Amino acid sequence: MNQPTESDREVKVGVLSALGAFIIWGLSPLYYRAIGEAPALEIIAHRAIWSLLFTLLMVGFSGQIRVFISLFRDYKIQLILLLSSLLVSVNWLGFIWAVNNGKALEASMGYFIMQIVMVLLGRLFLDERLNRNQIISLLLVCLGVLNLLVAIRQLPWIALLLAISFGFYSLVRKKVAVNALVGLTMECLFLAPLALVYLLFLNHQETLVFGSREIGFDLLLIGSGLMTALPLILFTSASKRLRLGTVGLLQYLNPTCQFLLAVFLFDEPFSAHHLNTFILIWACLAIFTLDSRNRMKRESLARKLTGMP
């Protein structure tokens, strides 16, 4: 019987890490519903503060303190991460509001179409050319959104907000060569002072939920920091060990879990018009994923033929 090689073990760890990250993200609506008594802005404030604590600990344990400190000497990187922190806070706020206001289905739609939005942003801002399959994918997404707009006179603004905000976040983060953990730590450092001021304001107004419920509720609010940091660490681990195409395929576990929760557990409205829209989106993703895999195979073959690693 063949013993597993080091490469096999690395792939196994990578797959398990990716599954852990995407399942945690996918099931996160359950967590944020459990603390839904707190307003979305208060949850975001706690998320920023406690995420900073957890990410600082992880930066320390992973031996990246010097890398983190070096960011304070580069004002350009700080400005870029300040912008990305604002974008990610918009994404967090939109998602938590959606989950606690009967819009988890629409949130899942946003994360399904996120990759397509990122391709479009790449075309608009990075001058990346679109091939035929990518154009077809974009058209299918547009048809899906248009279907909801015409059929039920409702623009899926939450889906668009989540997809566009994270798309711009990814676009901005491409401008800096900073790993995910160190970057998130700096982003939380920018958000934490504003978050703390907001919590102090709520406390002064006697509307702060933290501390007014049982200890278990407060611990869940604190745990929102770990809910932010842990899947990111797992995702980073997976990205180092797996091919981009594998990670891209597994990432659809996240919106799939959210979709199933919204329809079967949260019992959100799911009409034939919603089904038609999702069918168009899933068709788009099938075309997009197959196209990405084929391009990666061609690029891999080209590297082998030219002797490149």
- pLDDT per residue as tens digits for the range 27-57: 999 999 999 999 999 999 999 999 999 999 9
pTM above 0.85, yes or no: yes
Residue 196 above 70 pLDDT?
yes
DSSP type of residue 72: G
- Residue 284 pLDDT class (50, 70, 90 cuts): confident
**Residue of higher predicted confidence among 249 and 64:** 64
Which amino acid would we find at residue 279?
Answer: I
Residue 12 above 70 pLDDT?
yes
Say what the pLDDT of residue 72 is: 93
Say what the pLDDT of residue 301 is: 62
With b for 16 or more beta-carbon neighbours within 10 A and e for fewer, the 260-277 pattern comes to ebbbeebebeeeeebeeb
Residue 236 above 90 pLDDT?
no
Q: How many CB atoms lie within 10 A of CB 286?
A: 12
117 CB-contact burial (10 Å; exposed 0-12 / middle 13-18 / buried 19+): buried
- Alpha-carbon span 243 to 163, nearest angstrom: 23
- How much is the average pLDDT of 80-93? 94
- Residue 1 pLDDT class (50, 70, 90 cuts): very low
Contacts of 118 (CB under 8 A, 6+ apart): 167, 170, 171
**Residue 206 Rama label (left phi>0; alpha psi -120 to 50; beta):** left
Say what the pLDDT of residue 138 is: 84
Residue 145 above 80 pLDDT?
yes
- Tokens standing for residue 152: 């039920």
- Tokens standing for residue 277: 């829209």
Q: What is the pLDDT of residues 125-141, one digit of tens each?
A: 877 787 888 888 888 88
Residue percentage of the chain with pLDDT more than 90: 51
- Tokens standing for residue 7: 């490469």
- Alpha-carbon span 162 to 167, nearest angstrom: 8
**DSSP secondary structure of 134-161:** HHHHHHHHHHHHHHHHHHSS---HHHHH
83, 191 in Cβ contact below 8 A?
Answer: no
Alpha helix (H) ranges present in 4-156? Answer: 6-34, 40-61, 65-70, 75-99, 104-125, 132-151
148, 70 in Cβ contact below 8 A?
Answer: no
